[in-house]
Structure 1
């Protein structure tokens, strides 16, 4: 059941992604990894993989071992390339700020931020001393440092998750930190994995974006990546609007991080950014049949290309599966315009693919279409399937995994402008996930699902009135050796 084109851990366990860095023409992606998971062991290390196109990854092994410096295992944090040697480990050293929690301290398990450094291009790290660079035992939740270089003020800036708020800190050297502000929200649950960056929008204007993994299920909202556009002055962030937007309205896009896009010359392109999120959630982290079928637990959703675009509410992040994904097409099925009144079962049976079209529906007052969509991962006879549809009357797009094998049953919904009677529609289906991108990526939902190997049918449907799936294209996808450890890849070749 290992995914055909999504990133997955080679063995055992993965959870939170760490923001990738760009070095020597490659993106270095780190994530939390537990090599003892299948044996019942606890704790996470930082494992590294590299990629040039955000699709095919080469495993590089563990970069920061767990339980090696006397300060506990390694949780989330962030990496920076210290170009000017502000920290004293040499020009170009890779510095990681990592949350660790010592169980022998009072209070037990107090969280603090520790510095690790690498002088071999991020392949391995050593501890920068035994003491934390930032500790506050009076705050129970004190983790996930996200560090950026504030070029305007010539200093480092950190956003830190502190329960119902983000603490803001500055430093000249990544070691001595001073608190300068905060961003508080008491209606989004526990805040984790903050994010802060500047982007150039499609209209040429520049905006700061503050993101955070949040849980707003109690408000009928997602538990994924919430974000605000706004103003950043080096010490505080003022949002353009009180309510956040959501990068994903589904069940499984948690702990997500974004990172800059680099041109072939290595320069950052401020008009594009990438995002990667953990394909799981803490309500059911261990519920996966891949433990038995493949000996691992841990996938990511597809890397996305993000662009900042204006809309009626200000600016939003529009997502698309990263562009290089199409380079891994093994076969194309050009199905043209599909007119549907009732349902049409496509003559294809596929496990891993990219489905793309424009959906149009009837807005005639006498025969208005009430719902139009696609059932994927469909068993013969229809007893199991994943439903993706547009609820025209409710002005919503939904992703429903109720009728298939999944961690928990349920349907997620996102608002949708149905006034035009047409919308762009794209869906990625893999062996353990379904992701749907609607309205040029302004609305996305991601679900973790576990269809049986025989659940590979595709049905188009329209209810109430008719619908047309224009220029329907399905691309079969496969990334060879995308999740195989580097030493095994060499042996295979």
Structure 2
């Protein structure tokens, strides 16, 4: 997960502990034991959609933990008609701390039921991010069809000795952790210098993929500024094969920091061609790039991943779709993958959000998406993502809204903007529409807006870019940031002030995605929940995901025209 040695964030669990390695060594293994009510209740959000107290900030259609702090999602496993999702969870507090794997199941990818703890550590050492596969051929010796996980742990509680451990399960609900690592750190036991220790402290987040052509398992590991590839015949004996270093692919490109939660898979494009894809969570905030899920399309030759284009692309360009995982869609695994991301950012993940006090938890996941690989007109291959169709089916109401047209007028201050009110649409909804600004310089939509128009999150189209500006949706009205549009802040992975300070989003206030400079219309799909805004443009070719913190009653939606006339047509509202 970010540009600091893994889980240095655990210092938050000890509130002022001098060093993260000590926090790791002393941590106890904590699990989730949901109440009988939580066990029985399906979860849209935490499991009780629409029944939260009025003062609750808990989302209506996003997955959240019943309590505690939520971290990385783990790649789900499909068994029968159920999807088993796992996630890093710290149960004793709403700040990062020692983690177990929480477990949920779902049959529609919208409603999730909490199932307790699937995997915990031992001897006072917790478990971190890993990967789950079905070992159909019994290569690991745990039985044909056994569910096997490879998971990172700090051996002996030492953060500079991150190694990969095997755990197995018969039912995908409870895993037994083996005591010794199967993929050992090549540097951790001998690291002495500061540089050696820093390198050894980044050896984590294994992602497993079966290479049927060569009858082997492939593991992609996150390292400091590189992805490390290993292969194994049996999930136990591993051989290092190669490294992919983004800075070497694009020497003149931006510094994208360390690599976390790599994601290696195969996918067939819409033109029938099959490809390997490498995804990774990177921190480009210091260079004006997202802190988010980047990817390369290429080939795998059994030892190396060879990208077709050296520059990474971004599946989401917001600030809050990190540590994302993908998995094959059961109905069409060759052409479609599902994806879910952690809606947080290490710039402020250590600081309490609005839900910490109101609901006793912190952290949420994005909606589940469908991901496809499409061939563009210029021959390039692009990943596109859209919300799963089941989300629309789960809406409590749906209606068509009137078309809207608004023209700008010069105000007393010389500004040129017009505004039309769409109304207070509720705390959780989806809006789909066609936006046309052929007769204007640009168009914008404000969501989670206040009645007086002073606050809200603004989605802007024009001048070759899509912007989502959340300055007006900080924790309190007094905490909004005064930077200009397009500002990217001072970096996302360090020890900057978080949500609780005067800059609640650590400077990461405006997300930007380039679009066709000649575009004058677009199809816009916006998901608004109590703590997040997810924006999809033109059938998911562009996506931006951000957390927001509106005050109670900030539910207004407005259309804006810049320098002319803008129009909304085909407006469909689905409320949740």
User: Is the TM value for this pair above 0.5?
Assistant: yes
Check if 1:150 corresponds to 2:219: no
RMSD over aligned Cα, in angstroms? 1.6
Q: How far apart, CA to CA, are the structure 2 residues paired with 1:161 and 1:62?
A: 25
Contact between 1:48 and 1:59, CA under 8 Å: does it hold in 2? Answer: yes
Q: Which deviates more from structure 2 when the two are superposed, residues 411-420 or residues 468-477?
A: 411-420
SS of the counterpart of 1:152? helix
2:173 maps to what in 1?
Answer: 123
Within-5 A mapping of 1:335-346? 335-341=401-407, 342-346=418-422
Residue 140 of structure 1 and its aligned partner are, at CA, apart by: 2.4
2:429 maps to what in 1?
Answer: 353
Check if 1:225 corresponds to 2:293: yes
1:47 maps to what in 2?
Answer: 102
Q: How far apart, CA to CA, are the structure 2 residues paired with 1:234 and 1:338?
A: 55
Contact between 2:182 and 2:237, CA under 8 Å: does it hold in 1? Answer: no
1:279 maps to what in 2?
Answer: 343
2:521 maps to what in 1?
Answer: 422
Residue 238 of structure 1 and its aligned partner are, at CA, apart by: 1.0
Q: How far apart, CA to CA, are the structure 1 residues paired with 2:379 and 2:347?
A: 32
2:244 maps to what in 1?
Answer: 183
Residue 71 of structure 1 and its aligned partner are, at CA, apart by: 7.2
2:450 maps to what in 1?
Answer: 379
Residue 13 of structure 1 and its aligned partner are, at CA, apart by: 1.0
1:403 maps to what in 2?
Answer: 472
Contact between 2:442 and 2:566, CA under 8 Å: does it hold in 1? Answer: no
1:329 maps to what in 2?
Answer: 395
1:91 maps to what in 2?
Answer: 144
1:170 maps to what in 2?
Answer: 231
Structure 1 residues 375, 159: CA separation in 2 closer, same or farther (over 3 Å shift)? same
Residue 203 of structure 1 and its aligned partner are, at CA, apart by: 1.6
Contact between 1:336 and 1:473, CA under 8 Å: does it hold in 2? Answer: no
Q: Between Structure 1 and Structure 2, which shows a larger proportion of strand residues?
A: 1
Structure 1 residues 71, 203: CA separation in 2 closer, same or farther (over 3 Å shift)? farther
Check if 1:78 corresponds to 2:78: no
Q: How far apart, CA to CA, are the structure 2 residues paired with 1:217 and 1:347?
A: 35
Tell me which of 148, 172, 183 is aligned to 1:133: 183
Check if 1:214 corresponds to 2:282: yes
Q: How far apart, CA to CA, are the structure 2 residues paired with 1:464 and 1:45?
A: 53
Check if 1:32 corresponds to 2:88: yes
Contact between 1:71 and 1:101, CA under 8 Å: does it hold in 2? Answer: no
Contact between 1:399 and 1:445, CA under 8 Å: does it hold in 2? Answer: yes
Contact between 2:100 and 2:117, CA under 8 Å: does it hold in 1? Answer: yes
Q: How far apart, CA to CA, are the structure 2 residues paired with 1:239 and 1:131?
A: 31
Q: How far apart, CA to CA, are the structure 2 residues paired with 1:450 and 1:464?
A: 30
Q: How far apart, CA to CA, are the structure 2 residues paired with 1:299 and 1:325?
A: 16
Structure 1 residues 7, 419: CA separation in 2 closer, same or farther (over 3 Å shift)? same
Residue 198 of structure 1 and its aligned partner are, at CA, apart by: 1.1
Tell me which of 307, 318, 326 is aligned to 2:372: 307
Q: Deviations over 1:89-147 (max 9, x none)?
A: 11111111010003555xx541000111112x111111223344333215221000001
Q: How far apart, CA to CA, are the structure 1 residues paired with 2:289 and 2:181?
A: 39
Q: Deviations over 1:41-69 (max 9, x none)?
A: 83000111011121110111101123x2x
Q: How far apart, CA to CA, are the structure 2 residues paired with 1:386 and 1:172?
A: 50
Within-5 A mapping of 1:463-482? 463-477=562-576
Q: How far apart, CA to CA, are the structure 2 residues paired with 1:242 and 1:71?
A: 42
SS of the counterpart of 1:221? coil
SS of the counterpart of 2:336? strand
Residue 151 of structure 1 and its aligned partner are, at CA, apart by: 0.6
2:492 maps to what in 1?
Answer: none
2:196 maps to what in 1?
Answer: none
2:195 maps to what in 1?
Answer: none
1:480 maps to what in 2?
Answer: none
Structure 1 residues 313, 370: CA separation in 2 closer, same or farther (over 3 Å shift)? farther
Residue 404 of structure 1 and its aligned partner are, at CA, apart by: 1.7
Q: Deviations over 1:314-371 (max 9, x none)?
A: 0111111111001111112311422221211013431100000111112xxxxx5122
1:447 maps to what in 2?
Answer: 546
Q: Between Structure 1 and Structure 2, which shows a larger proportion of helix residues?
A: 2
TM-score by length of 1: 0.90
SS of the counterpart of 1:291? helix
Contact between 2:437 and 2:520, CA under 8 Å: does it hold in 1? Answer: yes
Q: Deviations over 1:12-36 (max 9, x none)?
A: 1110000001112211100101111
Q: Deviations over 1:391-422 (max 9, x none)?
A: x22x0000000112253151111001142421
